[in-house]
Amino acid sequence: TLVALGPLTNIAIATRFCPDLPKLVKSLYIMGSSSRFGNVTKWAEFNFHCDPLAAHLTLQHFCRSCLVHVVPWEPCLDNCISFQEYDSLFDGADRSPAKSLIEATGMTKWLTKRKSSGEGYCFSDQLVSLIVLHPESVIESEYYDTMKVIFDENDEKFGFAEYVKGDKPEDKKRGLIVYKKFDMSHMIKLYEKSMRS
């Protein structure tokens, strides 16, 4: 199992040097892509916008050989928790390493901004980890044959993802699963455990 939480440049390069890499991986988990709207441009999500050619090549190679799991940007916004729930995770966790890490990485300013706008706390990379650790948390997902990523710099949709529909193979060992909805109670339990460890 391979988990990719950033731009896919390193995986694309590794596949260039080792063309059999996709065959050696059972599952590839990716945080990235957008099919409706982005978070860097109108169309593109950050990880895919950084290197859309790498994303395109990685998806084309891996979807033919193994099962690729993708959490796009939109479900990150659709599966938020309220800030009341988020704040309660820190109750009694003043000396928690997890809380110290959030403060040290400058997340506090971002959180304050989202709180003032009335938005909830949204997860991104954490959703990918949730799928790996607790697949039962998935409520809704959709199967696709592969994904095409626009990498033409002259195209306004640079970094945008187009999911390609196909028939799910009987062995269910290749193709693309795009995740949409989660039971966030599993995420809250994971956070509560980390805050108290």
* Angle ∠(13,18,22) on CA atoms, nearest 5: 90
**Alpha-carbon span 115 to 86, nearest angstrom:** 11
21 is written with which tokens?
Answer: 């890499």
- The region of weakest confidence among 13-22, 87-96, 150-159, 161-170 is 87-96
pLDDT band at residue 103 using 50, 70 and 90 as cut-offs: low
> Is pLDDT of 106 > 60?
no
> Is pLDDT of 71 > 60?
yes
**Alpha-carbon span 84 to 117, nearest angstrom:** 14
> Is pLDDT of 117 > 90?
no
Question: pTM value?
Answer: 0.88
Q: Given this model, what pLDDT does residue 104 score? A: 67
- Which residue, chain included where needed, has tokens 């699963």? 177
Provide the 3-class DSSP secondary structure of residue 80: coil
Specify whether the CB–CB gap between 83 and 115 falls below 8 A: yes
